[in-house]
Structure 1
Amino acid sequence: MSLTSVVLAALLIAAMLAVGTTVDLAGLARVLRRPAPVAVAVAANALVMPGLAVLLLAVFDVSGPGVVGVVLAAAAPGGGSGALLAHHARADAALAVSLQAVLAVAGLVILPAWLTVAEVRWEIGLAALPTVDAVLLVAGSLVGQLVPLGVGMWLRARRPQLAVRVHAVARRIADVLLAGIVLWSLLANAHRLGEVPLVVYAVIAAVVAVGLATYASPGLGAASGRGAVAMTTTVRNLSLALFVAAFAPDPGRVILTVLAYGLVMYAAAVAAIGPMRRAAARPAARPV
């Protein structure tokens, strides 16, 4: 196991432990009674974001590694840091973790489907998707989410004072690891980011913007629910995208495109935290 994999696993565990100390069973049960956020998130992730990516790539006549990298990122939902960023935005924690789990599993269908579309349109020559290994990767990710989430929820219910202390430590660790991963990706690839065409950056920015724009979707209720949908939709499963990128022709440039997507994605998501926090802090309007 590489150092990067270890750091990503630690980030996932720390993030879900921190979020778990803010969630209870009543909150999760409430999610089951609200189908609209799940429907919006699944539609955005399964159809709108990857569909927009494919459309723009075709309109701007992009080809080669740029196509593969953008499609991989746009069609790989369920990123492990989505719930953490939603937590920073004062979003509905129970809704965020539920959406993150649903989208991670859905990605096993969404990603191959859009890769098939890209193969038909561009003949990208992508090797057969390693289905078993991809399933194992997502399954391991889900275990890494659900176990610390359950521990955090147990602490909240049984040892609330300890839960507060654990939350503070786990959140700080997760923040440091996430910032470290983004900074390392930027520094390690700064000399190569210019190799990604500007038109590819434009497509990435448009897809990321659509993910954040789910915040304004109808039927999501209060700002906390909107923030949960927007953050978990915007943050992609870059681990899955990078794993599949290794099987593509010219994997180095495909991976570089996925990393460029990640940098744009995290920059936009972090910039959106402040406005979302302020919106969540405002009292809900009372009906007249």
Structure 2
Amino acid sequence: MTLLTAQVATLVTDIDDVNIEFSSGASTVLKVVIATILFGIALDIKVSDFTAVLRRPFPILVGIVAQFLLLPALTLLLTIALDVRGSIALGMILVACCPPGNVSNILTHRARGDVALSVSMTAISNLLTIVMLPVNFAFWAGLSPAGDDLLRDVDLDPVKTFLEIALVIGLPFIAGVTINRLWPRVAHRAHRVVGPVSFVLLLLIIVLAFIGNWDIFTNYITLVLLAVFVQHLMALGLGYGVARGTGLPSKSRKAMTFEVSVRNTGLGLVLVFAYFDGLGGMALVAAWWGLYDILAGLVVAELWKRRTADVPEQVAV
């Protein structure tokens, strides 16, 4: 074994014992920021976005299956294929179980995709996440050969997790939709401010967390780079593949691609610090994914915008 191989092996062994430092005050701020982001998303969501399921059930059903079933299942297989350590495997599975963020709507718009479908899928997915995330994560993480031992040491009470997610996602989401319903002008103006500001604050928190744990970041980030890259590429391919395979038109394929590949990893970070004490591999995967999928998504959207002719299409049924 070479010296380099020995060093890498040491790092791989240690990452499951590493914890990212994050004070209780910073954790509370993170929860408030995530709640504000969801509130900002909901301010732009109308009741009609939910009833769109009745008008276009098929593409939304395809998206739900891809996000809540196929993505976690394929992620589990990917963690086994890459033979990652337990904390990294749990981080990848947690990311796969997180809902999409409003960035998916922005990327769909930039790529000239079906924004209406994207918004409806974001609304439905975030609503379902309140119940599905704790159940989904517990199920797929429990099947992980690498992460199962770590999961046994964690008090991941589904009821407590549900209440945590309901507080961070459910209440602000319902509040935003209600305000949009009762005072649409106020909601429209507030959305233009709340969304960008909360998003910038989230990026700032992630960057400060990296700076505050710089030694951990520099020592272990190489272990998650490949995992995040491959998982994100898989998510992009899954979104596009299921849309194309089910016969959805080009604009709907764009929406589906970003809905499946863009994850609200800020919520994932909240859960990592709330239940896993900032477990190293999980926190690094969630934090790095949050930065990487925005950059990669912008590149994909720009390429799609340039290479795909914006021609009239039939609306998916």
Q: TM-score range by the shorter chain?
A: 0.7 to 0.9
The reply on whether 1:52 has 2:57 as its aligned counterpart is no
| In structure 2, distance between residues paired with 1:273 and 1:14 | 22
Distance change in 2, residues 1:56/1:189 (3 Å) = same
Query: Which runs of 5 or more residues in structure 2 are unaligned?
Result: 1-24, 110-114
Question: Hey, what does 2:178 align to over in structure 1?
Answer: 150
Within 5 Å, which residues of 2 pair with 1:93-172? Answer: 93-118=119-144, 120=145, 123-126=148-151, 127-140=154-167, 141-156=169-184, 159=185, 164-172=188-196
Which residue of the other structure, out of 98, 104, 109, is the alignment partner of 1:77?
Answer: 98
8 A Cα contact 1:83 1:231, kept in partner: no
Q: Does 1:212 align with 2:236?
A: yes
CA, structure 1 residues 277+96, in 2 after alignment: closer, same or farther (shift >3 Å)?
farther
Q: So what's the TM-score if we normalise by structure 2?
A: 0.71
1:203 to 2:260 alignment? no
CA RMSD in angstroms, aligned pairs only? 3.4
Tell me the TM-score normalised to structure 1 length: 0.77
Tell me how far apart the structure 2 counterparts of residues 179 and 122 of structure 1 sit (CA, whole Å): 28
User: Could you tell me which residue of structure 1 aligns to residue 108 of structure 2?
Assistant: 89
**Distance between the aligned counterparts of 1:241 and 1:286, measured in 2?**
37
Q: 2:290 aligned with 1:266, yes or no?
A: no
Structure 1 residue 110, shift from structure 2 partner? 1.2
Partner of 1:245: 272
* 8 Å Cα contact 1:193-1:260 kept in structure 2: no
- State the identity as a percent: 22
2:107 & 2:147 partners in 1: Cα distance? 39
Aligned pairs, how many? 275
Cα gap change, 1:95 to 1:114, in 2 (>3 Å): closer
| Contact 1:7–1:177 (8 Å) recurs in 2 | yes
Take 1:4 and 1:208, find their aligned partners in 2: how far apart are those partners? 24
1:114 Cα offset (Å)? 0.6
Q: After the TM superposition, which segments of 4 or more aligned residues of structure 1 sit over 6 Å from their partners?
A: 278-281
**Which residue identity is paired with 1:48?**
L
Q: Are the structure 2 counterparts of residues 167 and 47 from structure 1 closer, same or farther at C-alpha, using a change threshold of 3 Å?
A: closer
Query: How far apart are residue 143 of structure 1 and its match?
Result: 1.9
Structure 1 runs not aligned, ≥5 long: none
Q: State yes or no: 1:36 paired with 2:58.
A: yes
